[in-house]
């Protein structure tokens, strides 16, 4: 079979063979030309089940999938580390790239033609991103909003080549959202986002399928990763990335104003006193300073986990949990985690 240049490249971590197959086939089977797609996946060292699944898919789809294996990922907060390595494996011919989760399934036929049409019409110096997710119409007012409800997008390869990484910490979608936020601060002509209303997905919800213990562990790791992404050092990197993009777009020497370390750090400290509130979980309990301080302290220790689990079970059994967790989405995730633990 004649080799066809790869145009699209999808990057991800996966250690779940069946879920990965579901992911890969949804993209391949809904393309007009599957030969233009490459999927590059990081797997755990010596994961024979994943290797077997990749081989089976490659036998059917002309070696679409490449993989690297390592033992880099120790927990959720390490998940970003292999993704930057995957960039080195991307084919030179690729034009459009995305970093996704194996929870995702694309539902739209000929999605590749839709993306190519957007790219052709963009006329934006080959630096653009195509917003497709549930948050594609979000307008962000600050980096905290970018960090807790980022829009995963398809990016031009030149965007990622200019930024030089998916992310310097947890959350490639979050980091690129923050970069886009700062890029937009250069002016309306630097808004490189294209909103697509044709492509749809399944599996965009996060933190599904977890037990209550896993949910608690992930909540703690989530707080630490969120603190990292909004930190002064990461924001400095994001501003620099935005400047690099702006200079590529206009070929002028664009210089964004740096954030002040002291004022930025103080502002974050005060916002963390109402951490959940500023992360979109507003309610009488989650907006309480005392509750947020207890949560931050709890994230640093594990000795109270069993007590917390027993308390959550007791409150739900007595139909009291929803009175404390008034955010519907958070409540439903807790109840799901309880069911998964039975």
CATH number, domain containing residue 99: 3.90.550.10
Same domain, 84 and 125: no
The pTM of this model reads 0.90
The domain in which residue 121 lies consists of 108-199+231-261
Q: Count the domains in the chain.
A: 3
Same domain, 137 and 247: yes
> With 70 as the cut, is the pLDDT of residue 1 above it?
no
**Residues with Cβ < 8 Å from 166, sequence gap 6 or more?**
11, 80, 83, 84, 86, 87, 99, 160, 172, 175, 176
Same domain, 136 and 19: no
Termini Cα distance of the chain: 51
Q: Distance (Å, rounded) from C-alpha 198 to C-alpha 82?
A: 31
**Rounded mean pLDDT of 212-225?**
87
Same domain, 98 and 183: no
> With 60 as the cut, is the pLDDT of residue 164 above it?
yes
Is residue 326 very low, low, confident or very high in pLDDT (cuts 50, 70, 90)?
Answer: confident
pLDDT value of position 2: 58
Q: Distance (Å, rounded) from C-alpha 127 to C-alpha 19?
A: 32
225 falls within a domain? yes
pLDDT above 90 covers what percent of the chain?
A: 68
Please say which residue of 105, 122, 155 terminates a domain: 105
> With 90 as the cut, is the pLDDT of residue 27 above it?
yes
Q: Distance (Å, rounded) from C-alpha 201 to C-alpha 133?
A: 7
Same domain, 140 and 70: no
Same domain, 68 and 132: no
Same domain, 154 and 116: yes
Question: At which residue do the structure tokens 């007590």 appear?
Answer: 307
Question: At which residue do the structure tokens 């970003």 appear?
Answer: 80
Same domain, 255 and 146: yes
204 falls within a domain? no
pLDDT value of position 53: 97
Is 154 within 8 Å of 132 (Cβ atoms)?
yes
Q: Distance (Å, rounded) from C-alpha 128 to C-alpha 96?
A: 9
Is 23 within 8 Å of 104 (Cβ atoms)?
yes
Please say which residue of 105, 131, 152 terminates a domain: 105
**Residues with Cβ < 8 Å from 78, sequence gap 6 or more?**
72
Same domain, 307 and 321: yes
205 falls within a domain? no
Q: For strands 129-131 and 193-195, give the pairing.
A: parallel
Q: How many CA atoms lie within 13 A of 60 on its CB side?
A: 10
pLDDT value of position 332: 83
292 falls within a domain? yes
> With 70 as the cut, is the pLDDT of residue 83 above it?
yes
Same domain, 35 and 154: no
Q: Distance (Å, rounded) from C-alpha 286 to C-alpha 200?
A: 32
Same domain, 183 and 239: yes
**Rounded mean pLDDT of 110-118?**
97
**Residues with Cβ < 8 Å from 275, sequence gap 6 or more?**
223, 292, 295, 296
52 falls within a domain? yes
Same domain, 170 and 127: yes
Phi, psi dihedrals of residue 285, rounded to the nearest 5°: -85, -50
pLDDT value of position 290: 94
Please say which residue of 76, 105, 134 terminates a domain: 105
Is residue 328 very low, low, confident or very high in pLDDT (cuts 50, 70, 90)?
Answer: confident
SS3 at position 67:
strand
pLDDT value of position 207: 62
30 falls within a domain? yes
268 falls within a domain? no
């Amino acid at each position: 079979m004649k080799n066809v240049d790869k145009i699209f490249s999808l990057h991800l971590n996966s250690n779940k063979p069946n879920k990965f197959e579901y992911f890969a086939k949804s993209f391949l089977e809904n393309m007009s030309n599957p030969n233009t797609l490459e999927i590059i996946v990081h797997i755990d060292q010596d994961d024979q089940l994943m290797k077997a699944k990749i081989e089976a898919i490659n036998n059917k789809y002309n070696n679409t999938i490449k993989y690297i294996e390592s033992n880099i990922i120790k927990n959720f907060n390490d998940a970003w580390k292999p993704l930057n390595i995957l960039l080195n494996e991307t084919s030179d011919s690729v034009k459009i790239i995305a970093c996704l989760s194996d929870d995702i399934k694309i539902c739209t036929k000929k999605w590749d033609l839709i993306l190519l049409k957007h790219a052709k019409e963009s006329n934006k110096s080959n630096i653009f991103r195509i917003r497709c997710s549930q948050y594609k119409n979000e307008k962000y007012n600050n980096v905290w909003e970018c960090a807790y409800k980022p829009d995963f997008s398809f990016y031009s390869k030149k965007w990622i080549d200019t930024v030089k990484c998916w992310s310097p910490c947890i959350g490639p979608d979050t980091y690129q959202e923050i970069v886009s936020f700062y890029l937009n601060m250069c002016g309306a002509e630097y808004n490189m986002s294209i909103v697509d209303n044709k492509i749809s997905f399944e599996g965009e919800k996060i933190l599904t399928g977890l037990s209550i213990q896993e949910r608690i562990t992930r909540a703690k790791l989530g707080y630490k990763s969120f603190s990292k992404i909004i930190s002064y050092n990461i924001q400095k990197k994001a501003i620099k990335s935005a400047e690099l993009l702006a200079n590529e777009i206009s070929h002028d020497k664009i210089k964004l104003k740096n954030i002040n370390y002291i004022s930025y750090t103080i502002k974050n400290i005060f916002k963390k006193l109402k951490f959940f509130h500023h992360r979109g979980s507003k309610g009488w309990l989650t907006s309480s300073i005392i509750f947020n301080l207890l949560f931050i302290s709890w994230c640093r220790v594990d000795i109270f986990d069993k007590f917390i689990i027993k308390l959550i079970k007791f409150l739900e059994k007595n139909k009291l949990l929803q009175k404390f967790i008034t955010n519907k989405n958070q409540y439903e995730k807790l109840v799901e985690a309880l069911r998964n633990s039975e």
